[in-house]
Structure 1
Amino acid sequence: MNRTNLCIRMLQLLKARGKMNTTQLADALEVNPRNIREFKKELVLAGYNVEEVKGRYGGYILNDQYDLPVTIFSDEEKDALVQSYKFMRTQKDFKPLTLYCDAMDKIIATSKISSNASLHYMSNSIELDKKISSMIDKTQQAMNHGICVVLSYQSLKDETPIEFEVEPYEIIHYHKSYYLIGFSLLRKDYRMYRFSSERMFKCDISTRHFIHDNHFHLSNYIGEHSLIPLDLKHVIVRVYHKENGLRLFKEKYWGNKLLPIHKEDDYTDFEFYTDDMSNLYQSLFSMMDQVKLLSPDDVRETYLNRVEKIINAYKG
C-alpha cells in the first residue's frame, strides 16, 4: 500500500479497535514502528484528531467527536477561562476534577484558546537575572506553539550536565524559584526541572513539535501547598504561652484545620494538616523553644536531625 492508503488504514484501525500502541499498529500495517508517528502527524495536519496517550499503557486513539462547536470568545473571556482552568487543576479535593478538565480541554481545543497563555503562580513574584528570564521566555514560547525545548541540565544526582529534549507543559513559580514540568523524551516520563544557573545551563527551542496530552493534569504533579505532591500529615504541636508564644504562633500559617485539642495553664496543644514540610520546619525553627513538635514521629525525627546538623556545623 502507498502512504495515503496506509494513513487511511490507520484511521480505520483506530476507529474500529480503539486505542492501539505503536507496535500493534506497525504489525497491522506491516511497516516500521517509526512510520507510525509520521502517519499520525500527517493525519493531524489533515484535520483528524489522533491523540497520543503517554505511559506504559499508552497508545494512539482517534477522537473525532466534539461536544461543543467552535466558539468565539473575547480576549477577556479567554483570559478568564485560562486562569480559572489553571486554578481548578490544583484543586485535588474537587471530585469531578477529571470531568471538568476534559470538558475544558474540549472548549480550549475548539476555541483557539492557548492554555499556556500565562504562568501558573504559587507564590509572589521575584526578580530574575537575564539568562534565567530568557530561558523562561523561550520555554513559554515553545509551550504556546507546541514545540519541544532542548535542555542542558544537571540534576543533583548528575556529575555533569546532560542534554535532552522536553515537551514543556507548565511553568510553576514556587518559593522564589521557577520550575518547568514537562515530558522528558530521554526518561520517557513527566519530570520537573528548576530554572537555575546552577542546574539549567541551556534552554533552546527545538524543531520537534508535539501534541499536548489531554490526560495531563497539573494537580497530579503538585501538592496542595507544596510543589511535590505529598500525603497530608496530621501534625500535633505544643505551644507555650510564655513570651507571647501563643500570639506569635497564631500569626503564622501552619496548615489546614488548625484546632486546639488540649490546654493547660502554660501551654496549648494544636493539631493541623499539611503537606508542606519545608514551611513547617522553617516555622518551627523561627519559633525556637516556644513551639514543640509532638507528632508524627517521622516528621519529628527529620526535624531533630536537621537541628542536629545545624548544631554540628557550629561545633567545628
Structure 2
Amino acid sequence: MNRSAYCIEMLKLLAARGFMRKEELAKELDVNPRNIIEYRKELEAAGYDIITTSGKYGGYALDGGTLLPMQGFTAKEKKALSDALTYLKVHPDFYLYEDYRLAMDKILASSSLSETNGGMYLNDSKPVVSKEILKMMDLCESAKQHSLAIALDYKSMHAKQFERIMIHPYEILNYKGSYYCLAYSMKAKDFRNYKFSDKRMRNVVITDTVFTRDVNFKIKEHVGNIGLIQDEVYELDLMLYHETALLMSEKQVGLHPEMEWIDDHTLHYHTIMEGKMEIISFLLSLGAQCKVIEPKEICEDITKILQDMMENYNNTAFSDIINKKEK
C-alpha cells in the first residue's frame, strides 16, 4: 500500500475501535511504529482531529464528532455478516444476540446491504442463559464500565455454603457455553473467576465503592493457554485406534499437536494440554480406542477411576437390576 492507503486504513481503525496504542496500530497495519506518527500528521493536515495521549500507555483516538463516509460492503463481507447472524441464532450461549440482531437491522436499514440467507448451522446443545443470569451479567458489566465494586453471595465448587464477598469486575468471559466474571477479590487479594450460575451466585448488588483498574492488567496473565484457568501443563503421548484415530486426526486438540500414522488404523498423537481433571475427562471420552503412553501419572489416575467405576457398578443396586434383566 502507498502512504495515502495506510492513512485511510489508520483512520478506519480509529473510527471503528476508538482509542488505540501506537504499537497496536503498527501491528494492524504491519508497519514500523514510527510510521504511525507520520500518518497521524498527514491526517491532521487533511483536517481530521486526532486526539493524542502521551505516556507509557498513550495512543491515538479519533474525535467523536468526526464523520467518515460509509464504505460499501464486498460480497464476502456481506456473506460474513449474514452467516454470523445465522450462526449466533443457533448458539444460545451468546447472550447479546437480540442486541446484535437490532444492530444488524440498523445496518441493513442504513446501507445498501440486503439480508440474504446465511449458511446452514445446526442448533447448539448449550443451554439458554436464564433471565436471572442475564440480570447478574448486566450488573457486572455496568459495574465494570463505571469501575464500581460488586457485593454478592457466592459458593465455590467445594464450599458447603454461600459467602458474602466483594469484587472488582474486570472482564466477562465465555468458556464452553458458560459465562464467568474475571474479578479482583478483596478477600483473596488476587484475581479469581466467578461463574454466573443460579446455583453458585445470588444477591448481586452494585456498591458505591469506586475502584481503580490496574493499568498493567493483561487478561492473558489470568487465564490458561487453553482453558479458562491457569493450571498444570501436561505433555500427552497417545496411541489412538480405528474410528477415534481418524476423528482425532481431523482435530486440533491442545497446543502444538503432532501426529503420525503407524498403520491404517493406528495414530501416534502428541499434544500439550492444561488441567489434570479436564485431561482425564477428555481421555475417558475416547474410550477403549485410546492408550495413554505418557505421562504415567495420568495413566495411574485413569486406572484408579476405572477401578472405582467397576466397583460402583458391582456393589450397588445397579448390578442387581442387570442381573434380573439377564435372568
Same fold (TM over 0.5): yes
The whole-number CA distance in structure 2 between the counterparts of 1:144 and 1:109 is 19
* Structure 2 residue aligned with 1:297: 296
Q: Does the Cα contact within 8 Å between 1:225 and 1:276 map onto a contact in 2? A: no
Does the C-alpha gap of structure 1 residues 156 and 245 become closer, same or farther in structure 2, counting only changes over 3 Å?
closer
Q: Which residue pairs with 2:241 in the alignment?
A: 240
Matching residue of 1:275: 274
Q: For 1:289 and 1:253, how far apart are their aligned partners in 2? A: 21
Relative CO higher for 1 or 2, CA cutoff 8 Å, sep ≥ 6? 1
Equivalent residue letter for 1:178: Y
Question: Residue type matched to 2:148 in 1?
Answer: I
- Work out whether residues 172 and 179 of structure 2, in 8 Å CA contact, stay in contact via their aligned partners in 1: yes
Are 2:266 and 1:257 equivalent residues in the alignment?
Answer: no
- Distance of 1:271 and 1:212 partners within structure 2: 40
- For 2:199, give the aligned amino acid: E
Task: Report the CA distance shift for 1:257/1:171 in structure 2 as closer, same or farther (over 3 A).
Answer: same
Q: Which amino acid letter does the alignment assign opposite residue 133 of structure 2?
A: I
Q: Residue in 1 aligned with 2:18?
A: 78
**1:311 matched to which residue of 2?**
310
Q: Within 5 A, what are the aligned runs for 1:56-205?
A: 76-78=16-18, 105-107=57-59, 125=94, 127-205=128-206
- Report deviation, 1:73: 7.9
- Contact persistence 2:249–2:259 (CA under 8 A): no
> How far is the alpha carbon of 1:205 from its aligned partner?
0.5
Contact 1:72–1:111, Cα closer than 8 Å, also in 2? no
- Aligned Cα RMSD in Å? 3.6
**Normalised by the size of structure 2, how large is the TM-score?**
0.57
- Give the deviation of 1:187 after TM superposition: 2.4
Letter in 1 for 2:162: P
Matches within 5 A, 1:204-219: 204-219=205-220
Taking only the aligned residue pairs, the percentage that are identical comes to 22
- The one-letter code sitting in structure 2 at the alignment partner of 1:247 is L
Q: State the TM-score, normalized to the length of structure 1.
A: 0.58
What do residues 145-171 of structure 1 show as CA deviations (whole Å, max 9, x unaligned)? 010011111123433211121111111
2:84 alignment counterpart:
none
Paired residues, what number? 217
- 1:154–1:200: 8 Å Cα contact kept in structure 2? yes
Paired with 2:303 and 2:226, the residues of 1 have a C-alpha distance of: 23
> How far off its partner does 1:276 sit?
5.3
Runs ≥4 in structure 1, deviation > 4 angstroms?
A: 71-75, 108-112, 276-279
Change (3 A) 1:279 1:134: same
Letter paired with 2:197:
S
* Residues 73, 111 of structure 1: 8 Å contact kept: no
Q: In structure 2, do the counterparts of structure 1 residues 273 and 178 end up closer, same or farther at CA, with 3 Å as the change threshold? A: same
Is the alpha carbon distance of 1:254 and 1:154 closer, same or farther for their aligned partners in structure 2, counting shifts above 3 Å?
same
Amino acid at match of 2:214: D
Whether the aligned pair in 2 keeps the contact of 1:257 and 1:273 (CA below 8 Å) is yes
When residues 179 and 252 of structure 1 are mapped into structure 2, their CA distance, relative to the original with a 3 A threshold, is same
Alignment-derived partner of residue 54 in structure 1: none
Structure-2 change in CA distance of 1:130 and 1:233 (3 Å): same
Give the direction of change, closer, same or farther, for the CA distance of 1:73–1:267 in structure 2 (3 Å limit). Answer: closer
SS at match of 1:182: strand
